[in-house]
Amino acid sequence: MSANRPRAYRAARTAFPAVAMRGVACCAVALWALVASDAPAAPPPARPNIVFLLIDDMGWPDPACYGHPFHETPVIDRLAADGMKFTDFYAATPVCSSTRCTIQSGQYAARVGITDFIPGHWRPFEKLVVPPIENVLPEAIKTPGDALRAAGYATGYFGKWHLGPDATHGPHTRGYDVTARTLGREFAAWRKTKAPGPKRIDLLTDQTLWFIEQNRARPFFVTLSHHAVHIPLEATPEAVEKYRNKPKPATGVNNPIYAAMTEDLDRSIGRVLAKLDELDLAERTLVVFTSDNGGLRQIYTGVGEVVSTNAPLRDEKGTLYEGGIRVPMIVRWPGVVEPGTVCDEPTTTADLMSTFCEAAGAEPPDQPIDGSSLVPLLEDSQADLPRDAIYFHYPHYHHSRPAGAIRTGPWKLVEFFDGAPLELYNLADDLGETTNLAQKMPDKARQLQKRLADWRRAVGARMPSPNPKYDPARAHEWWSRRTNQPLDVEAMEKRYRSRAAKRRQQAKKRP
């Protein structure tokens, strides 16, 4: 990339915002502004198409380009080679719904009020009563779909939503014109011509390919929100067999079905990128790839199968340690992102709204926006964003206890709300969060704790409260919010294993 390219791109995008082209006079002023600037006189780049690939439960080290020694992800690796790999990108929360609300709002989940997955876990006899959550994305919030549709984009969303019932509060009601609910007979007929693959993966991929084909002549914004690599584990028999026979590394968790599902997912992403190439759209398409939270280690904690690891990160999905929130993130944007670059600026899913709007020349929604646009980083991986901290709020029981966290520079503070001691880590020296420095550096810990508390007050974060029914002997019990009954976790595990065995038998019978 030439030294002048980022400045020229920013000047062109400023002079020609999509929402400002309302007449000849406006265009004339914009042309004058471009010529008068010190940027090279060149036509502005066309508004990019945007393809957003959101993976479910993919851990930070799962792709091979992030260091996994067993998984094979050639497409994701090539995407990183052609674009920018973020090393310190975070899901704004450690579970799905709350992270997804940050993407759709540009706000921290604590501000939105969806701080857990919908409907959430419940431990009625634990030390704390967790706060209530919103069960749908609040109606007042405008999404990236709303913003980009207003800017003239075709908008599509396929796959997992998890921000309210799909029938009444799905993406088709929140700014996305084309979704699985609106696809008709033409798509069904088109899909019959395609070779069948893993249903959970390839159906969503086919929907996305159809959308791209139908909107090739205009700018489009499409989200492909996969259910994989979330459990249940399932993959093509050929891929499973490949990994059963592949020599395993001496250490780590290297589950052949999980590895096969990861490769099946990688292959599906390759189909999307191939479609962009086929339609001559790749050079004017921004592709963003990330995950909604860290990887799940064990299907059912305490009784289930261990399926993956987030090592060298600590812990897993449902915790505020790095394994629960640090996720892979890759961006390819030809002409803007220099191939093969790496960015280590701490960034978060709350930044995606602003990024999509700036890239598309769309006006951000008229609502509080907590995130920052990542476009300056895409233009220059060494740039700084206008903030010095990012925040996390997860006041729920899951694979850990209700907690909050702040990261500023290399420093990360974790504060548990049940009165446990503060935990302070220097991630530059201790990526695995093995050495708590809070007692050695009490002033630093108290300073970050105060900043975290001030932030919670500013966004109106809901907090847990003491539980008058606290019973240490029963604190471990999980209950269902839907049935108001305790969950039989061991029975759930048995059902899972039975269904998994049935799927494996059915897979063997396929021609």
Mean pLDDT of 84-94: 98
Same-domain pairing of 144 and 252: yes
Flag whether 414 is in a domain.
no
Would you list the DSSP string of 412-479?
EEEEETTSPPPEEEETTT-TT-----TTTSHHHHHHHHHHHHHHHHHHT----EE-TT--TTTTT--B
Same-domain pairing of 190 and 64: yes
Write out the residue range of the structural domain in which residue 178 sits.
49-106+133-352
Same-domain pairing of 9 and 58: no
Same-domain pairing of 183 and 294: yes
Flag whether 57 is in a domain.
yes
By CB atoms closer than 10 A (0-12, 13-18, 19+), residue 54 is: buried
Mean pLDDT computed over every residue of the chain: 89
Mean pLDDT of 117-133: 94
Tokens representing residue 237 in the block: 């028999």
Same-domain pairing of 247 and 162: yes
Position 195 confidence tier, pLDDT thresholds 50, 70, 90 = low
According to DSSP, the β-strands at 49-55 and 220-225 are parallel
What pLDDT sits at residue 80? Answer: 98
According to DSSP, the β-strands at 128-129 and 465-466 are antiparallel
Same-domain pairing of 176 and 325: yes
Which 3 state secondary structure label does DSSP give 464? coil
- Bigger pLDDT: 306 vs 407: 407
Tell me the whole-structure pTM to 2 decimals.
0.89
Same-domain pairing of 24 and 53: no
Flag whether 123 is in a domain.
no
Same-domain pairing of 94 and 30: no
Mean pLDDT of 156-183: 95
Mean pLDDT of 242-258: 95
pLDDT per residue as tens digits for the range 279-292: 999 999 999 999 99
To the nearest 10°, report the CA torsion of 416, 422, 423, 424. 130
Nearest to residue 85, comparing CAs of 75, 77, 93?
77
Query: Over 80: is that where the pLDDT of 501 sits?
Result: no
Q: How many domains does the chain have?
A: 2
Same-domain pairing of 228 and 337: yes
- Bigger pLDDT: 302 vs 39: 302
Flag whether 448 is in a domain.
no
Query: Over 90: is that where the pLDDT of 20 sits?
Result: no
Position 41 confidence tier, pLDDT thresholds 50, 70, 90 = very low
- Bigger pLDDT: 501 vs 41: 501
Flag whether 185 is in a domain.
yes
pLDDT per residue as tens digits for the range 210-236: 999 999 999 999 999 999 999 989 999
Flag whether 327 is in a domain.
yes
What pLDDT sits at residue 417? Answer: 98
DSSP 172: G
Position 19 confidence tier, pLDDT thresholds 50, 70, 90 = very low
CATH of the domain at 84: 3.40.720.10
Same-domain pairing of 98 and 235: yes
Residue that finishes a domain, picked among 352, 374, 403 = 352
Position 488 confidence tier, pLDDT thresholds 50, 70, 90 = confident
Same-domain pairing of 63 and 27: no
| Pick from 135-149, 230-244, 361-375, 451-465: least confident | 230-244
Query: Over 90: is that where the pLDDT of 45 sits?
Result: no
Flag whether 146 is in a domain.
yes
Same-domain pairing of 164 and 311: yes
Residue that finishes a domain, picked among 352, 380, 409 = 352
Residue that finishes a domain, picked among 300, 329, 352 = 352
Flag whether 97 is in a domain.
yes
For the chain, how big is the Rg over CA atoms in Å? 23
pLDDT per residue as tens digits for the range 344-369: 999 999 999 999 999 999 999 999 99
